[in-house]
Amino acid sequence: MITQENILAALKAVKYPGYSRDIVSFGLVKSAAANAGAVSISLELTSANADAARQIKEDCERVLKAMPGVQMVHVEIKMPAATAPPAGPLAHQNKIPGLKRIVAVASGKGGVGKSTCSVNLACAFARLGAQVGLLDCDIYGPSIPLMMGIHQRPIVSPEEKLVPPMNHGVKLMSMGFLLNDDQPVIWRGPMIQKTIQQFITQVDWGQLDVLFVDLPPGTGDAQLSLCQTVPLDGGVIVTTPQEASLGVVRKGMAMFEKVNVPLLGIVENMSGFVTPGGERFDIFGHGGGRAEAARKNIPFLGEVPLYLEIRIGGDEGRPVVVSHADKPPGQAFINIARALQEKLN
């Protein structure tokens, strides 16, 4: 027997084009009924985007026809007049005020230098004149406070929001600011989800051109919570050149694709080591990131070789973009930031 609950469950597989949330959670499904194998649903969109409506209708028909026992499907879509201004399903409610762009930095596995890339990209954007924030979503192993050289606890504003501390021109928020040294976080998934939602909505970020989000490795609660809380403008994938890293990174890319978050590009970190004498050693291989970007038909943002200055900068809380901005270690990240900035614009 086909029930309304069955129909709504199936429709949760339909995402609003360009967003990571489904049409059911957006409240776009106004009615759903079934009778003798015929299913009819009614949707109300807040956008006059005909292409979006067409895509939603096709996706609804596809998932409903795949339900056992369904023989006929009727999808009715109501849209506002073409002059209506909203451009998305929750144009005013889903966007976070003041945050023009939200970019997630991710990897499929740990140890590839994702947090190092996050802090240096954030500092590079600030150096290029942008208003920048950096959110550390690695709840279990926050490293942003160390790498950015700041450990103060955030204060609370009169509006009862956390005020993010700032260093190197970047506003920062991390679980590490709220913990004592070496204090572990022993939480289950729901607590992780709630904390990440609060870090987005209950922090006084002010006006930002871009908020970078440093995700933990993998495709678990933190990543899904972020994708379901706000519409991400895209994801940046960090990998090392060898196949052992690329194989897992592909899962991270598949996650973004599954939740309709566009891939802005790939960064190949630890891309060879050049000795002071000029001799190059491809310790982890070379070119794997570029080849993967070509295979997926997404931008390759650039390479970051192994530099001693990058490790020292991370340990001392002065990212290499700050300490060696005009030297090859800093320029590697600045060039990637320019490529990403062009992609966002």
CATH number at residue 118: 3.40.50.300
| Residue 272 placed within a domain | yes
| Residue 332 placed within a domain | yes
| Residue 211 placed within a domain | yes
| Residue 86 placed within a domain | no
Q: How does DSSP classify residue 208?
A: B
Indicate if 47 and 121 belong to the same structural domain: no
Indicate if 127 and 236 belong to the same structural domain: yes
Indicate if 247 and 177 belong to the same structural domain: yes
Indicate if 46 and 154 belong to the same structural domain: no
| Residue 89 placed within a domain | no
pLDDT tens sequence for the chain (345 residues): 889 999 999 999 999 887 777 898 888 999 999 988 899 999 998 777 788 889 999 999 999 999 999 999 999 998 876 443 344 443 333 567 889 999 999 887 778 889 999 999 999 999 999 999 999 987 777 889 999 998 888 888 888 888 999 999 999 998 888 776 666 565 555 676 677 778 888 899 999 999 999 988 766 656 766 666 667 889 999 988 887 777 777 877 887 877 778 889 999 999 888 787 778 888 888 888 888 888 888 899 999 999 899 999 999 999 999 999 999 999 999 999 999 999 887
pLDDT of 48: 73
Q: Which domain holds residue 11?
A: 4-78
pLDDT of 276: 77
Indicate if 323 and 191 belong to the same structural domain: yes
* Nearest of 310, 249, 300, 298 to residue 123 by alpha carbon: 310
| Residue 93 placed within a domain | no
Domain boundary among 78, 93, 128: 78
| Residue 90 placed within a domain | no
| Rg value, the chain, Cα | 22
pLDDT of 212: 96
Q: What are phi and psi of 165, to 5 degrees?
A: -65, 165
| Residue 87 placed within a domain | no
Helix (H) or strand (E) holding 254: helix 243-258
Indicate if 26 and 123 belong to the same structural domain: no
pLDDT of 171: 95
Q: Which residue bears the tokens 């009924």? A: 33
Query: Mind giving me the DSSP string for 26-89?
Result: TT-EEEEEEETTEEEEEEE-S---HHHHHHHHHHHHHHHHTSTT--EEEEEEE---TT----ST
Indicate if 276 and 234 belong to the same structural domain: yes
Indicate if 233 and 163 belong to the same structural domain: yes
CATH, residue 20: 3.30.300.130
* Nearest of 211, 253, 243, 209 to residue 230 by alpha carbon: 211
What is the CB-side half-sphere exposure of residue 311 using CA atoms within 13 A? 7
Domain count within the chain: 2
- Name the E strands within the chain: 29-35, 38-44, 72-78, 102-106, 132-136, 155-156, 162-163, 166-167, 170-174, 210-214, 234-239, 263-274, 280-281, 300-306
Indicate if 54 and 194 belong to the same structural domain: no
Q: How does DSSP classify residue 94?
A: T
* Nearest of 131, 133, 132, 171 to residue 150 by alpha carbon: 171
* Nearest of 252, 290, 269, 248 to residue 333 by alpha carbon: 269
Indicate if 128 and 188 belong to the same structural domain: yes
pLDDT of 32: 93
**Using CA atoms, how far apart are residues 118 and 328, in angstroms rounded to an integer?**
18
Indicate if 14 and 148 belong to the same structural domain: no
Indicate if 29 and 168 belong to the same structural domain: no
